[in-house]
Amino acid sequence: MATARMRRAMLLLEEEEIVCCLLLLRSRRRRRWSTRPLNQSRRDEGEYSSLVRPLRGIDEQSHFKYFRMSANRFDDLLHRIRPHINHAATHSSPVKLEERLAVTLRVLASGNSQKSVAQSYRLGSTTVSLIVTEVCEALWSALCSDFVSLPDKNKWADISQEFWRVWNFPNCLGCVVGKHVFIKAPPNAGSGFFNNKGSHSLVLMAVCDANYRFSMVDIGAYGREGDGGVFQECMFGSSLLHGTLELPPPANLPGSTTTVPHVFLGDAAFPLHQNLMRPFPGTNLDDTQRIYNYCHSHARRVIENSFGILAARWRILRRPIDFHPEKTVKVVKACVALHNYLSSTDDANTPATRYIPPRFSDSFTSAGDVVDGEWRTVVASDSNLLDAGQLSKAQATRAAISARNDFKSFFLSPQGLVPWQESVLRRGTLN
């Protein structure tokens, strides 16, 4: 009896499932058209045909402002991503690869919504959303190995020399920072993405070299993790703290017999480690500690400028990103890859189309005064990419304390001091 009842129950369930499927098929609305009437004129009246193509031959400077790159860079980028995107031409009006790249770059550069870009290009909103996801992934795949890969020993040595030449900090391999990338609350997000600033975000960890290029990016950690544990859990932080990065061996400071390790520079959110320097904490500091903190802060301007230039060029980063977290990761990585690619291929002979023109980043007078870069005006009202707060609670070791003291002594020596550091130290105080 029990077995027969079970069989009847199973038959009833199967019948109910069949009925539900039939009802769904009947209720599914048929598409009224394969392409909306307004979008059928895309090839003649869409923004790609009416604006983008004419810009190439008429106004190179406007082309740069529109895409953040010259027409030559656009063509080279198109060649690089072509192997990573492949579509069968099954649609009656397929979107060509060059138009897909144009749509994606416009979304990233303008910060406009995908819907508004879709309207101007005479494309469907869903089509543009899929295009942006696909092309951002292709941009990262095509550019990361050449422009965003973690340096090897020889490259680390070159970066160290550049930091000493440009930023007056020896044995430095880069500056590291953690940023909140704010996002709109995803569906059923819970508390994972909710950070201590009262918003939803992902944590971006990044390292830059002396020329505003990112040598490492790690994005995807939950926003709530940016309160003490995200650094040692990310790939870079874990490798650094465990000594598995292939860093150059300790070397003498310039003009000195004092040997110190090669280091990264972080702010107060990071731990003091033998390969990671942070400033002396507190306000009751002696002059030697204040001089070290000044030299440390002076060199760390490069990471502040790197993010400022990144956000000024790719305006999608200016406010919370209205994408799903997985897509947000792809978009941010694509922006970083484009930033490195364009800054690495800058042509000084064409100032109108330089990605980082001379006055765009901070500069310094002979007296050590800061001349703010033009990027600061562009991002003045932005509400994204804020510092992530405390990123580690690791305790400092004796080796780390000793290394920082060695750097402090070096900046007081004739080989390490800069001419204006004493006047900067005394500025605003009584003699």
pLDDT mean over 203-212 = 94
pLDDT mean over 167-190 = 86
Model confidence at 298: pLDDT above 90: yes
Q: Which amino acid is at 111?
A: G
Model confidence at 32: pLDDT above 60: no
Confidence of residue 411 (pLDDT cuts 50, 70, 90): very high
CA 60 remoteness from chain centre: 26
Q: At what angle do helices 287-313 and 398-410 cross, to 10 degrees?
A: 90
Model pLDDT, residue 285? 92
Distance in angstroms (rounded) separating the CA atoms of residues 419 and 168:
11
Tens digit of pLDDT for each residue in 101-117? 999 999 999 999 999 99
Tens digit of pLDDT for each residue in 114-125? 999 999 999 989
Residue whose entry in the numeric block shows the structure tokens 């990262």: 140
Token pair for residue 246?
Answer: 């292939």
For every residue of 274-334, DSSP letters joined together read TTEE-PPPSS---HHHHHHHHHHHHHHHHHHHHHHHHHHH-GGGSS-B-S-HHHHHHHHHH
Query: Would you call 387 exposed, middle or buried from its count of C-beta atoms within 10 A (0-12, 13-18, 19+)?
Result: middle
Model pLDDT, residue 377? 95
**Which residues lie below 8 Å from residue 343, measured CB to CB, with a gap of 6+?**
211, 212, 213, 309, 355, 356
Tens digit of pLDDT for each residue in 329-387? 999 999 999 999 999 998 888 888 899 998 999 998 888 889 999 999 999 999 889 88
